Each structure stands twice: as C-alpha cells, then as structure tokens.
Chains A and B, each alone.
Chain A
Amino acid sequence: MRRATIVVALACLLAGTVLSFAQQAQLQKQAQVPAHPNELQYKPLEYTPPQAAKHRQVMANGVVGYFVEDHELPLVNIAVTIRVGSYLDPAGKQGLASAVGSQMRAGGTAGYKAEEYDEEADFLAAAISSSIGSTSGGASVNFLTKDTDKALELFFEMLRRPAFQQNRLDLYKSQVIQQLERRNDRTDAIEAREWGRLIYGDEHFTNRLPTRDSVSSITREDMAAFHAQHYHPGNFIFAVSGDFKTAELKAKLERAMADWPKPPGAAAAVPKPTQTPVPGVYMVHKADVNQARVSLGHRGILRGNPDEFAVDMMNDILGGSGFTSRIMNRVRSDEGLAYSAGSGFSAGIYYEGQFRAAFQSKSSTAAQATQIVLDEIERIRNEKVSQEELDTVRTSAVETLSQLFSSASAVAGTFAADEFTGREAGYWDKYRDRIRAVTLDDVQRVARKYLHPENLVILAVGNVDDIQKGDPDKPEYSFQKISKGKVTRIPLPDPATMAYPKP
C-alpha cells in the first residue's frame, strides 16, 4: 500500500497515524463484502430540521428577517423577497414588472450613474441582483465580510432609489424585443407557451405575454411609479446568511430602511384563472425538427389540501422520481423512446397547480410513448401500487429532507419563502410523519380522485405530418386513435404581436 499523500503542512503530524492505519486497513480488507446491499447495516441517523423561530427576527419597522450565521467563509448573503409580480402589469404594458426588476440593477440609482454603480459593485466583487417573476420579486447581494458597509449601501441604493437610466432602458427594450421576436424558434419555448395557454387560458396573467408594442411603450415614468408603489419594507421578507453577528447586521438593515414610508393602497391579490381547460389533443407544427415534445395533463390542487402528501407520493411513483418512477421505466428504459420522461403534480399557492406528464420522442414514436403514459395513468388509478414502490418514495422523501436545509443560505431561504407564501407553522416538523402516514390505499384513492384521464389535455409540438404518420413498424399506435379522430391544430402566432392567425 502506498502512503497517503497529505497536504505538506500536515504530513509530518499525520504520518504516524497513517502507517498504523495502513496495517489496520490491511486486516479489514479481508472483512466480508455482503452479496447484496440489502445486507448492509447502518447506524441510525438522527436528524432534526432547524427551527424557524430560532432564526426569525422582527426588525424595528416590522419587517421580518431570517438570520442564519455561518462563520466558515468570509461571505455574507442577503436575499429579499418582494410582494410584487408580473400579475400587476397594467393592460398594454405587459413586461413592465420584468423591466423594473431588471433595470433596478442595470439602470443606476439616484446616487450612482449606472456605469459607476456597476464599477463599484464589480470592484468589490459583490454579486448584486434584482428580478421580478410572476408572483414575487427578488433582490440579493453576496459580498465579502470586509465590504459589509459599502455593499449594503449599494444594495439599498438599488432597492430604494433606482434611477432607470434611459440608455440602459433603451438597450433592455431592444434586447427583449429581439428575443420575443424569436419565440417561435425553439420547440421547448413553443411547448411551454401553448401548454400554459391550454391549462390556464388566454385571459390568465401568466399568458398575457409581452409584445413588441407593450414593451416599446414602457417609459421611465411607468417604471418609477411601479417601483414606488411596490418596493417598500412592508412588502419585504429578508433571508440573511453567512459571516455576521445578527444583532449588528440587523441594526444596519434597520438603519438602511429607516424613514421608508409605505405608499397608500395594498397590492391586488394574485388573480385566479377564470377559464376551464378544454380536454383534447392539440398539435403545433414545426417543420424542421425530428423530435416531438409531448405534454399531457390538467389542473392540479391547491397547497394545504389534506391529500397533498398522498398526491406527492402517488406522482413520485407515477413519474416524479426519475429512474424509479413508472413513466421513466416504461418510456425510456423499456422502450428506448425518450431521453427524459416524467411527471409533476404541483400544489398551487394562489391558484390550482397542475398535473403534467411530459417527454420528447422522435416524431414517429410520439404516439406510442403517449399511449404508454395514458396506460400508466389508468393503471395507477385501477391497481394498487406495490409496497416496495411506496416504501421507496416515502423513504426518499423522508431522508432527503435535510438537503432542504443543507447550508445557512438554504435554511434562511426556505423559512423566508415559507413565510412569504403563508405556509403553516411547524410544517417541516410534521413533514416526515405525514409522508410516513401515506398508505397504499391512499395512493390509489388520490389517483382516482385527482387524475382525470377523461379531462386530459394532450399537446404535441413538432413535425405534425411525421408525428401523425407514426411508426411503420408499429401501426397499432397513432394519434388518430388517441384523439378519436379529432386533433386541434394550434397555429404559431406572430411573435411580435402574439396575434394568432384565425383557424
């Protein structure tokens, strides 16, 4: 055996240990290797999730922050979640929220021109970001401990006093318009867009997409007004982690937010979808691709549904747990019809989530793979899953809980997100018992209750001619059969205006 090579500084100290260890290892080498991993014995692993209350702080202005200290590396991370979103975009100004999120970071501040701001941040090597998504906004800064004061100053300049400099806005609009004009190029983008329309309807805010005109019309004044309305401490939750003393950093944050008034009025609630999905088979034609992207599904459930955990386990068995799930096993491993295949069943925070199974398969075999997924949906409704399948997904969910809290920033981030979305207190303390309580009967019951084969929306994007021809070696599979003869074609919209040609 070779001696272990240890980093030079420690080599002398450790050499003795290594040698005696080497002899010991030689002896142990003879020890029995079990024939199967089932025979391995493990020490018990006790794990208690961290407690939110231990890290929760209410600041002088009433703002909540989760502070998790970790002094291993000289880094601090501050992440703010903001109650804002593109659901607040006024009609005709789609894209405004995204523009505000981006330009808060890119457009300079009252105290710094954009160019100066960028130079300061880059010289400190501080990573500062800002963005607005559909139902929340985010802003964060990551910096070296020694730069705390300067980094905080830059961060709050951005949060509080963004200037939305005109030349940066012009560039941003040019970039966004150039990109949106290309939104019919990629089949994955087409699939995501049309799937959203089919499930939540054109009227829903998630499907009111920016157009060339709506983006062109955005002005600095629009952005400043939007920012003033939504960016104030009453809409913030902080997640702070890393190398700091909580009392000190908390005081600094309080100072930075002092005299920051709350504007009148409250943010509107996130709108629920008003349209009902129409089941059926839909296709979008894209001539020069040789692979079809297929999605099947319908609306899902709301968070807090008492069956949430059973639905989660059911979906893991059906298609949610990678190679251990049925859809992956059948579509990929058995038949070699796809590289990735699976399903998700989401519990929505503000409105119903969705059930969606998806895969990508060459045009000729898309129908066969679709039929397999349909069969699996039927099977999990009609037959109980095996004890082994349920045990696998339950153990996995229970044992991977610790990964949600694997670092200081993960702990702070998880608790801040929970508070932002109004998750019940003590959720993670009860999580593992709730998962363990799911039974074989529960899985079949929720499959029957929440999977609706008769209500499925099926969307295929690809070369429709080839998809419909199918596989000459397997004429028994076809979309003709699956759709009972009725396929609705969705044309590609004008990418700049999002106007769809009339059927």
Chain B
Amino acid sequence: MKRLFLTALLTAGLALPLCAQQVEVQEYVLDNGLTLLMVPRKGDPNVAAGWVAKVGSVNERPGITGLSHVFEHMMFKGTHAIGTRNIAEDLRLMEQIDAVAAELRKEQLAQIDRLRLGEISDLKDPKNRTARHTELLARMAELNRRQKELIVKNEFDRIYTSAGASGMNAGTAEDFTIYFINVPANKLELWFWMESDRLLNPVFREFYAEKDVVHEERRLRVESTPTGKFQEEFNALFWTASPYKWPVIGWPSDLDGLSREEAAAYFEMNYAPNNLAACLVGDFDVNEAKVLAERYFGRLKRHPQQVPPVRTREIPQEAEKRMLAWAETTPEVEIRYHTVADGHADDAALTVLGSLMSGRTGRLYKSVVLDQQLANNAGAGQRSMKWQGFFSMSGTAKPGHTPEEVEQALYKELEKLQQEKVGERELQKVKNQFAAGNFRRLQSNFALMLQLLLAENNRGWQSFNEDPKKIEAVTAEDIQRIAIQYFKPENRAVAIYYTKKSETTEEDPLFEGLNDQQKAQLRQFRAMLPQMSVEQARQVLQQIETQGAAAPPEMRPLMERMKKLLEEKIKNDGGAL
C-alpha cells in the first residue's frame, strides 16, 4: 500500500508514548512567492492535489461580508479558454451586464431608502419596483439569456471528470479558502493546467446569477434549520470587535450588494501567487512536479504588496453576555470563553483540556451525564483560529432539567480544574489519544493534503510536525494555570436554547373544527402556558370544568382543547391531575 517516509520514535509505556513522527514535506517556492508542498507516496495510483488562498471571511469588512465565499463559487465558472464558445463576445456581454447591474443597484438603493422610511416592507415584491427597475430586470434577463448561449456549462468540471479526476470541491472558512481534487497519477499536468489557468485568466461569469445559488445555500444551512439563525446570532454576540463576528456565508444584504468590480479587486490582491500555497500528496515524481509548477504556476504575477494582517483585534470582554433563544430543538446550553489563537503558547494546553472534558471517559460525560444525570450529552473543546480563538462547552438538558442547571454543572467542572491538578493517568490517557491520532491523521492522502495546507495557511506546514511535541509537553500545572486564567465569568458568552412548540399547522387536530377567532384564542392560550405554574394550571382547569356546562355549545370545542392542553401541561411538568 502507501509508502510514506516517517521518522517514528516508537517507545511503548506510560512515560513516553508514541510521538514525534515527522512527515517529510518537500517545499518548493516559486519566484512569484507561490509555495508548493510535496509528499510523494506510492501505492494508490492517484494524487490528492489542492491549494489554499490565505483569505477568508476574517479578511472582509462590513459591506462585502460573504465575498470570500461567493468568490469560491466564481472560481468554477471558467476562464478565457474554458467555459465559453466565444470569449470576445462573452466579455462584451459581461461589460453590458455590469452596466445594467450598476443601474439596477441605483434602483435597489432607492428601494432601500423607501424601506428605511417605512414606505415599503419587502424589497423583493414586484409591486415595489419602478417601471425602470422592471425594465432593467428584463434587460438583465435578456443579457443573461444571450450569455448562456455562449457558455459551455460547467466545462471546468467536465474536463476534470472526463479525465477520471474526482472529488473536486472547495471550501471557505474564516481564515482560508481551499480548492481540492483527486487526479489519476498520470494526469498531474492537467491539474497544473487547470488550476493555473483559473488563477491566470479567470472569468467571473454569471456573477449576479450565482448570488441566487449562494442565497439558496444560506437558506439550506442557516435559515431553514431550527438553530442555524441562532448560532449565527450567538457568534455575532460573542465577538465584539473581531471580524470573526460575521458569518462566512455573509449577511444577506451584503450578498445582494456585491458587485463584480469588488470581486475583481479582491481577486487581484488575495489570489496573487504570494498569497497561495499548493500541496500534492500521492503517486508523483517530485522533479516532474517542480518542472510543471514552474511552467504553469510560474506564469502568475506576484502582487507588489502582501495581504495586510487583520487589523481589528478583539477587545477584552468586561461583562458576561447571554442569549436566550426559543427554537425547535432540545433544551441546550453553549458557553464560550475568549481564549487564544492557533499556535499561541497556551493553545496546546487548552486543546488538551478540551479532551479531558470530552468523550466517553471525559469529565463532562462522567460527571454531568452519568453521575448527576442532568444532561443527556455534553462536550467541550478549544477552537483556535488564525487571529483569535475560543473555548466552548455545551450540553443538552435531560428531560426534567433545565439548560441553566446544566450550565451550572459545567461551571463546577471548570472550578474543579482551577482548584485541583489533574491526575497523571488522566493526563496521560489524553496524550495517548493524541499520540495515536498522530498516526491516524496520516492514513489518507487526501486528509494529509488538507491538513498540510491548513497548517501552511496559519503558521507554516512545519507546525503539522511540531504541534504534537507541544501537546506532549503539557503539564498538570499548565492545565490548572490556564483554567484559572481564561475561565472567568466576565470572559464568557452563554447561549440558552429553550424548546419552542412547533408552529401549528391547519392539520393540527387541536385546531380542527374551530373557527378562525377560536383558533387565534387557542393559540394565544397555548402561548401563555409556559409561564403558568402547575398550580395555576390546575386552577384554570377547574374553572373550565365548572363553567363548561353553562357555556354555549359553539364554545365547547374550544374549551375541550384548552382542557387538553392544561392536562398535558400538568402531566409533563410532573404534577398529578
């Protein structure tokens, strides 16, 4: 099978577990600054190939949030050579599309003014458009139609697929944008051709139409899931100053406003070769790869400036923040503390601390789930991003308990870590898991390629080999020190999720046979129930029962339903009827 050059220090036993296996990465830097990382590995006749642009949502600013991600979509739209039957005509049409888009933007801005003043309430409603707006939309549709006739659809994908390449995809995160694929061993040159061409001659076709796709992606991931919107809101609450506060997919209003000119400017700076790193893992010849890198990526022009570091750092948090949400989900709590960025001196200890808390033998499961039986699930972990980081703990309340009880129990576990050093065996157990993980993470060429690129993105690929030693060096004193240093009430934000009853549907048997007024009354009544104590519920139930006989017949169905709701409440809240 695969052969990978590893220097492994194999020592069994408790004191010195397996550690320090080094992956030999050959690094080759082109004149233009592009870094190529290579790990040749025989066996499987394929090459896992990818590259990373060191840019993500953290590099955006209000107004262009989501651009990194929109951009990732645009990178599949083709080039001068790929994706069109007539590039000259294609570019001409795109100029016209941009001109109409600029005119449309003026109309949208006028609409936004009317929205701001409360004259309209829905930007998408055709009734709120001027005649000119409607005409511009028709012109845009016509231009899009004409461009579509020229477009060779998804040719970029088709060329790869018909060459036997697979798994082509890309991803955008706060700190990076990554593009990857698996190519048969004899098609390495195709990868260099395709990737360098889309960096050299990209054409951002269908820029405005693609935003519709991104809106669908946003609906899919955020807006139409029970907790997506709340998670987005909690993240925005947690960060005060840092650009990590906006979602990677962007705010919807920014998505609507983005222009192709903004995308082009963004590309020029962030996709210059001096901001890129590529990686190959698999069955290839290193010298051949270097020649191809020179021939293909060597064509890219270095940008005179480096991408500026993110200027806005988070300010120290001075008071606890809380978010209370009613969602269609189990009752849950998430607690986040501001901690440190990837590679910080305390990063390894915080990572180890997360593992001490998590898993089947972690402290949270043993204490909060098994012993105290307050939660049905609980976990914790450090998330280290390039510029900042946080430690997160979460738990799902067991029926009969509240998220707040789980929250308090999680704090208790942190206090124990502050008061007492962790035991030697407990710490060693976690280190053993990291040590085994250091082998497991090398099993797949594809996963290794991704990990090396992510390491290179933040601190250089060498950190992939160096970090295991830092984990191994963490002491019980370190754990206690960081627990005291970071886990302070004023340094945290807390999200509490209560379970919201599903929105009623007209199929709900509860509402069957009621008139509209009665339905509204019943809805209102039901909304009041959570605030009612069991004792109050009993009293109301009694009133209904005594008055029921005297009520007019058309009111009886409504009263029956109210009784049913009250009985359910009393039963669920643990009271006897």
Contacts and interface: CB of A to CB of B under 8 A. Distances in A.
B46 interface: yes
Contacts of A340: 220
B65 interface: no
B376 A175 contact: yes
B216 A185 contact: no
29 contacts: A2-B30, A4-B29, A7-B22, A10-B24, A26-B294, A28-B295, A33-B299, A36-B82, A40-B189, A73-B439, A115-B366, A122-B359, A125-B436, A178-B376, A178-B399, A285-B506, A291-B216, A324-B154, A324-B161, A328-B154, A333-B206, A339-B214, A360-B216, A400-B166, A403-B44, A406-B445, A407-B444, A491-B507, A501-B512
A334 B148 contact: yes
B396 interface: yes
Interface in A306-340: 321-324, 328-329, 332-340
Contact of A403 (B18, B182, B296): B182
A90 interface: no
A185 B225 CA distance: 8
B290 to A, nearest CB: 6
B435 interface: yes
Interface stretch (B4-12, B88-96, B339-347, B513-521): B4-12
In this complex, the member of B216, B287, B366, B503 whose beta carbon has the largest number of chain A beta carbons within 10 angstroms is B216
Contacts of A42: 186-187, 189-190
B294 A407 contact: no
B294 A28 contact: yes
Given A125-B435, A399-B184, 15 more contacts: A4-B28, A4-B29, A7-B22, A21-B287, A28-B294, A29-B295, A45-B45, A72-B6, A125-B436, A184-B502, A337-B212, A340-B220, A361-B216, A392-B161, A491-B505
Contacts of B46: 402-403, 406
Contacts of A123: 425, 428-429, 432
A6 B212 CA distance: 45
B415 to A, nearest CB: 23
A61 interface: no
Given A33-B295, A40-B190, A407-B44, A171 B507 contact: no
Nearest to B503: A287
Contact of A185 (B214, B223, B226): B226
A278 B330 CA distance: 35
Contacts of A182: 328-330
Contact of B25 (A7, A329, A489): A7
Interface residues of A, number: 105
A187 interface: yes
B153 A329 contact: yes
B26 interface: yes
Interface in B289-348: 290-291, 294-296, 298-299, 328-330
B505 A337 contact: no
A499 to B, nearest CB: 10
Interface in A17-73: 21, 24-26, 28-29, 31, 33-37, 40, 42-45, 47, 68, 70, 72-73
Contacts of B164: 395-396, 398-400
A125 B432 contact: yes
Interface of A: 1-2, 4-7, 9-10, 21, 24-26, 28-29, 31, 33-37, 40, 42-45, 47, 68, 70, 72-75, 106, 115, 118-119, 121-125, 142-144, 146, 167, 171, 174-175, 177-179, 182, 184-187, 285-291, 321-324, 328-329, 332-340, 360-362, 391-393, 395-396, 398-400, 402-403, 405-409, 462, 472-473, 489, 491-492, 501-502
A75 B18 CA distance: 12
B509 interface: yes
Interface residues of B, number: 109
Nearest to B183: A399
Interface string B206-248: 1001111111110110011110000000000000000000000
A323 B76 contact: yes
Given A75-B440, A290-B223, A329 B154 contact: yes
Interface string B160-188: 01111010000000000000001011110
B40 to A, nearest CB: 13
A142 B444 contact: no
Contact of A40 (B44, B193, B291, B432): B193
A121 B518 CA distance: 59
Output the residue of A7, A392, A408, A489 with the most chain B CB within 10 A: A7
B3 interface: yes
B194 interface: yes
Contacts of B440: 75, 142
Contact of B18 (A4, A74, A118, A492): A74
B121 interface: no
